[in-house]
Amino acid sequence: MKMLKTSIAFAISSALLIGCSSDTDYVQPEEVKIATYNLSFDRATFQDLVTEMQIEPSVQATLVTDYLNNTIDVSDRDTAAKVIQIRNVAAVIQKNRPDVLMMAEFNNDGTGTDKSALEGFQKNYLSVAQSIEGAGGDANLEPISYPYFESYSTNTGLLNEFGFDLDNDGTPGTLPGDAWGFGFYHGQYAFALMSKYEIDTANTRTFQEFKWKDLEGATIPTITVCDDPSKFPTGMVCGDEWYTTAEWAEIRLSSKNHVDAPILIPTKDGTETVHLLMSHPTPPAFDVGKNIEQNAAEVDFWHQYIQNKSFIYDDSGKTGGLEQGKHFVMMGDQNLDPVDGDGISSVMLNLHNDSLVNQEVTNGSLYPTSDGAAEYAADKPLQHPQPSRITSNFGLAVDYALPSATMNIVDSGVYWPATNEDGRTLIFDSRIPDSNGDSKEISSDHRMVWIKADFSN
């Protein structure tokens, strides 16, 4: 892989920061842990995130101490709260030690070119020992280093160039609703990848410009949530098509991006390639039907992709999906539960049931679960039929690392510590005001989901 000189230098400096460790020696691994985690690092601007990531550990420590002691200057209070969140997220990563990590809601500059936030996250947080006890605790976790990292272009906040009124609010060409993907600025809600193994950027495929109309079975979304007509755009009624003919001809499928990023894993029998199929579809909520349909279509794209449908095309013009027999892991906060929620669950359930996907993970004993999720559900009127499987504070299983049937998966899980388990304060901390003890102000409103693949045979 051709890496930027700055990335190479940064990787070297990160290694020096943590010293020589077996944690960074990944020659011929037997097991590889692959995880997805919505970090909830959404910020008002990309520069806000960059600034937070560049705060040095000594300054962080002072901010955290003063915050917890309630001696913080009012002008520093918001910054200190964000530092606590980032440190707790870094602690979750250090505790779980994934070898490959897809990170949702890691804002960027819109194109993924500026990697300064990723570099700061590595240098000032991941390369520094965090605490399993959460904010202000003893630094008792091992630092972790990812020599390979990428940030990807996104449709969020990218204003459509045609002047379309995509949200039908009567004011065309305005953010956030008239962007190709909902966002107040280009780069909001983007996603990134960190890896112990080389990312094959030369063979990475992106589908940012793939048009929704070109997906097999696609139809113009209509107003289907009709119980409250006051929510309809002015002049529209139940059953109306959301887009005009001109808009439907141009509308992009992906609310952010769909990315097939191969990683190269050295084994005793040669290099194994695993295709990371990453996306973060729009939530099936907040409107009267369009988002429900788009969310389902964004998920269905990957289903059709692994079936190697010939009509698929990427941003470079290459056609076709993923060749049969290749290793893959479909990753990300998909905002769709296979058995519950407001979305079209059957779309996710169909993907789960496809024989191309590892059935032990999707329908067997290796489905990722946690005791913490079951405990959380028991205390709330969530009514999820499989409470140990939920991955979010809103009570749904929406975060995934779905491997192909070709992969030998030996373990899986959701990192959601129950009351008496290590790391509980990383997701539940009553010391953080206005957080209800368990919100994304502490770390995230999502949990890390992981699988472990055996490459020894």
User: Residue 32 is encoded by which pair of tokens?
Assistant: 């590889």
Cβ neighbours of 12 (radius 10 Å): 11
Predicted confidence at residue 23, as pLDDT, reads: 46
Return the DSSP state at 184. S
Mean pLDDT, rounded, for 270-290 = 96
Q: What does residue 371 show for φ and ψ, rounded to 5 degrees? A: -70, -30
Res. 1 pLDDT band, cuts 50 70 90:
very low
Cβ neighbours of 387 (radius 10 Å): 20
Predicted confidence at residue 7, as pLDDT, reads: 40
Domains of the chain: 5-454 (3.60.10.10)
The CA distances from residue 335 to 248, 279, 323, in Å, are 23, 10, 26
Q: Look-up: residue for tokens 């491997």?
A: 403
CA distance 118 to 111: 14
Q: Does residue 177 surpass a pLDDT of 80?
A: yes
CA distance 291 to 198: 35
Q: How many residues does the chain have?
A: 457
Mean pLDDT, rounded, for 6-28 = 42
366-401 tens-digit pLDDT: 999 999 999 998 877 768 999 999 999 999 999 999
The overall longest dimension of the chain from CA atoms, in Å, is 65
Predicted confidence at residue 412, as pLDDT, reads: 98
393-449 tens-digit pLDDT: 999 999 999 999 999 999 999 999 999 999 999 999 888 876 665 678 899 999 999
Mean pLDDT, rounded, for 328-353 = 97
3-state DSSP assignment of residue 10: helix
Asked if 296 and 344 count as a contact pair (C-beta separation under 8 A), the reply is yes
Give me the long-range contacts of 389-394 (CB less than 8 A, separation at least 24).
389/414, 391/416, 391/446, 391/447, 391/449, 392/445, 392/446, 392/447, 393/438, 393/439, 393/440, 393/445, 393/446, 394/445
End-to-end CA distance of the chain: 26
Asked if 85 and 442 count as a contact pair (C-beta separation under 8 A), the reply is yes
Q: Tell me which residue of 186, 218, 178 sits closest to 298, measured CA to CA.
A: 218
Residue 272 one-letter amino acid: E
Q: Give the chain's mean pLDDT.
A: 92
User: Residue 451 is encoded by which pair of tokens?
Assistant: 């699988």
